[in-house]
Amino acid sequence: MSARPVLSRGMVPTIGHLQRLAAAGVGFHSYTEPMLSTDNEMIRDIVLAVMSSLAKQERLRHVERIHAGIARARFKGTESGKPIGRPSLDKRKVIAIRSELAKGTGIVNTARLCGTGVSVVQRIKREMAA
Q: List, in sequence order, the alpha helices (H) in the chain.
A: 11-23, 41-75, 91-103, 107-114, 118-129
Torsion of CA 23, 26, 32, 33, to 10 degrees: 50
Low-confidence ranges of the chain (pLDDT < 70): 1-12, 28, 32-40, 79-86
Q: What pLDDT, on the 0 to 100 scale, is given for residue 82?
A: 64
Q: What pLDDT, on the 0 to 100 scale, is given for residue 17?
A: 77
Q: What pLDDT, on the 0 to 100 scale, is given for residue 59?
A: 83
Q: What pLDDT, on the 0 to 100 scale, is given for residue 9?
A: 61
Determine the Cα–Cα distance for residues 39 and 33; give it in Å rounded to an integer.
Answer: 17
| Positive or negative: CA dihedral 86, 65, 33, 6 | negative
Average pLDDT of the chain?
Answer: 79
Q: What is the pTM of this model?
A: 0.40
Q: What pLDDT, on the 0 to 100 scale, is given for residue 35?
A: 65
Q: Which amino acid is at 77?
A: G
